[in-house]
Structure 1
Amino acid sequence: MRAAYITEHGPSDAIRVGSLPVPVPGPGEVLVRVDAVAANHVDTFVRSGAYATEMTFPFVIGRDLAGTVVHQTESFPAGARVWTNSMGHNGRQGAFAEYVAVPQDRLYTLPNGVGPIAAVSVLHTAGTAHIGLYREARIRPGETIVVVGAGGGVGSAVCQLASAAGVRVLAVDRAENAEWCREHCGAAAVIDRGSPGIAGQIATLAPSGVDVYWNNSGRHDFDEVLPIMARGGRIVLMAGMGSRAELPVGAVYTKDISLHGFVISNASAADLRAAAETVNRELRSGRLRGRIRAELPLSEAAKAHQLLESGTNDKPGRVVLVP
């Protein structure tokens, strides 16, 4: 089979595309023929070695896939359309291949009517959003959430899942993403991140305080954020692996504020299954949707990583590949 893999850690041009043996499913695994995959920023960290995880070389890259079950198993019939979002780390070979052996406890049925490309554009981001919103922030209907970087992949999924849960969403992003945030992410208001006095604008929109503040930007200014938080507010920290910030500790404990940092890579199978139930429900409803920046053949896996690492934001959306 054809696969995109690495034989050692390195830059994007370390990715090779060539022939590897079709994996033989072990106990509790299901052989899946891959229909589409998506490239994630965390994949570039695994490839480069910035995110240390167990792997065996040659190592197939990639987390997410949508595909079709090849052989009948106890849990899945042959021909079943399925998806997963937790391959390519912690000893599991990745998704960028024609065939993947997926642990059945990390494999989920794809809802009828949902195409593989549409699915893979949201699997990783929505899984992350669910864990952050429900396990970490413990969102409740009627609360207010501020999402910084709301037009990005994770940001969009956070807004969509929060809005579906009855949470009031205030989005912060570039002006060109405002329409997307309003029309497709359920934002009650959108603040231009380039405008002055963002904290003041948020305070006007949420005079009783912000219950959850989710920052995808990697830039954390707690001196601005803490005064606009409600008592018992939760701050979710995402992105910015090298970021450092000053924390006004007094304002944290006197307002019962909690800080939450997490990565989906550490999620348990139970966490991921709970997220999958929400992801499938929202895929069926049509409320969960992503934007696609580029659709590439598997042979251009290195280009996919280059697009992620380029730092350019001229075209928002996900990078999807088809074997």
Structure 2
Amino acid sequence: MRAAYVERLGGVAEIRFGELPEPVAGPGDVAVDVVAASVNPVDTFVRSGLYVTEVPLPLVLGRDLVGRVAADARGFRAGEWVWCNSLGHAGRQGATAERAVVPADRLYRVPEGADPLDVVAMAHPAATAYLALVTFGRVLPGETVLVAGGGGNVGGALIELAAAAGARVLATASAADLGRCGDLGAAEVFDYRDERLSDRLASAGPVDLFVDTSGRNDLEAAVRLLAWRGRIVLLAGARSRPVLPAGELYMHDRSVLGFAISNATAADLAEAAAALNPRFAAGGLRPRRVEHRTLADAAETHRRLERGEVHGRVVLLTP
């Protein structure tokens, strides 16, 4: 089969495109003919070695795929549309290939009425948003959630899911994205370039849950906005080194916690998929923009991601 892979971890120059043996499904696996695989920043972290995880070599790259079941297995029927968002790390081969083998407990059916390509484009952003809000953020109806970076795919999913959970949502974004944030369910939106942003956010009321998708992680500014027992969830900015305002945290029972979707258990991801699939089926959680490339473009796509040239878009690679 054709695949995009690396024979050792390192820079973009390590990415190869060529023939590899087809993977063999084990007793707990399902073979999937890949229709599309999305490329996310986390894929560059694994390939470069920034995120340390067990990987087989050569390693087929990529986390997320959508495709059709190749043969009846583990309760799945041949030809069914399915998706997965946890390949390419923790000992598992990846998604950027003509065929992939997926553990059955990490494979989910594409719901009727959903566009399979939209599902794979949003699998990573939407699951990240769900885990940040529910599993780690413990969002409750009536709470105030602040989404910094609401214009992106993760930010948009955070807004949509938080509003659906009954939270009052505040969001910051560029001026061009303020309307979109409001359409997704944000009660109040703020231009992140506004010189008075801190004052405007403070006036909007104490925040129970703060999620910053930009990776800036300005904890000094964020902690001041928190309510009693407010929470900050960190999910981006692998190289950031923010100042920790310890006094303002412990004196008000506030907390800061981080998570990487790479560490999510199969049960965590299955719970997220069960919550996301109905929204996919109803036409929600749509990607902003999707760019279509082929598996042969994997190296160039990784290069563009690392240069910050894919902002607001999801790149799908197709065999």
TM-score, structure 1 as length reference:
0.95
**3-state SS in 1 of match to 2:5:** strand
**3-state SS in 1 of match to 2:187:** strand
Equivalent residue letter for 1:212: L
Q: Which residue of 1 aligns with 2:108?
A: 108
Deviation sequence 1:158-191 (CA, Å, 0-9, x none) = 11111111111111111122222122x2211211
Q: Aligned partners of 2:220, 2:16: CA distance in 1, in Å?
A: 46
Q: Which residue of 1 aligns with 2:187?
A: 188
Equivalent residue letter for 1:79: G
Equivalent residue letter for 1:78: A
Q: Which residue of 2 aligns with 1:317?
A: 313
Long gaps (5+) in structure 2: none
Q: Which residue of 2 aligns with 1:278?
A: 275
Q: Which residue of 1 aligns with 2:156?
A: 156
Q: Which residue of 1 aligns with 2:291?
A: 294
Q: Which residue of 2 aligns with 1:263?
A: 260
Report the Cα offset of residue 293 of structure 1.
4.5
Aligned residue runs from structure 1 range 65-76, under 5 A = 65-76=65-76
Q: Which residue of 1 aligns with 2:240?
A: 243
Equivalent residue letter for 2:187: A
**3-state SS in 1 of match to 2:3:** strand
Q: Aligned partners of 1:97, 1:249: CA distance in 2, in Å?
A: 47
Equivalent pairs, count: 319
Deviation sequence 1:79-118 (CA, Å, 0-9, x none) = 1110000000000000000100000000001011222211
On the 8 A contact 2:38/2:315 being kept in 1, the answer is yes
On the 8 A contact 1:32/1:101 being kept in 2, the answer is yes
Equivalent residue letter for 2:108: Y
Greater shift, 222-231 or 27-36, is seen at 222-231
**3-state SS in 1 of match to 2:256:** strand
Report the Cα offset of residue 221 of structure 1.
2.5
Q: Aligned partners of 2:79, 2:60: CA distance in 1, in Å?
A: 24
On the 8 A contact 2:83/2:107 being kept in 1, the answer is yes
Q: Aligned partners of 2:52, 2:245: CA distance in 1, in Å?
A: 31
On the 8 A contact 2:114/2:282 being kept in 1, the answer is no
Equivalent residue letter for 1:210: V
**3-state SS in 2 of match to 1:127:** helix
Deviation sequence 1:226-281 (CA, Å, 0-9, x none) = 22211111101121111112122111112111111000111111101100011101
Aligned residue runs from structure 1 range 18-37, under 5 A = 18-37=18-37
Q: Aligned partners of 2:3, 2:219: CA distance in 1, in Å?
A: 44
**3-state SS in 1 of match to 2:285:** coil
**3-state SS in 1 of match to 2:102:** strand
On the 8 A contact 1:121/1:291 being kept in 2, the answer is no
Q: Aligned partners of 1:138, 1:5: CA distance in 2, in Å?
A: 37
Q: Aligned partners of 1:203, 1:281: CA distance in 2, in Å?
A: 35
On the 8 A contact 1:127/1:279 being kept in 2, the answer is yes
Q: Aligned partners of 1:222, 1:90: CA distance in 2, in Å?
A: 30
TM-score, structure 2 as length reference:
0.96
Does 2:213 match 1:216?
yes
Equivalent residue letter for 2:61: I
Q: Aligned partners of 2:117, 2:304: CA distance in 1, in Å?
A: 18
Aligned residue runs from structure 1 range 128-207, under 5 A = 128-183=128-183, 185-206=184-205
CA 182–259 in structure 1, closer or farther in 2 if over 3 Å, else same:
same
Q: Aligned partners of 2:91, 2:74: CA distance in 1, in Å?
A: 24
Greater shift, 243-252 or 59-68, is seen at 243-252
Aligned residue runs from structure 1 range 116-131, under 5 A = 116-131=116-131
Equivalent residue letter for 2:109: T
Deviation sequence 1:40-85 (CA, Å, 0-9, x none) = 1010011111111111211100000011001111321111110000
On the 8 A contact 1:12/1:306 being kept in 2, the answer is yes
What's the RMSD between the two structures over aligned residues? 1.3
Equivalent residue letter for 2:100: V
On the 8 A contact 2:28/2:74 being kept in 1, the answer is no
**3-state SS in 2 of match to 1:68:** strand
Q: Aligned partners of 1:98, 1:221: CA distance in 2, in Å?
A: 42
Runs in 1 of length 4+ with deviation above 6 angstroms?
none
Q: Aligned partners of 2:199, 2:159: CA distance in 1, in Å?
A: 21
Q: Aligned partners of 1:12, 1:168: CA distance in 2, in Å?
A: 42
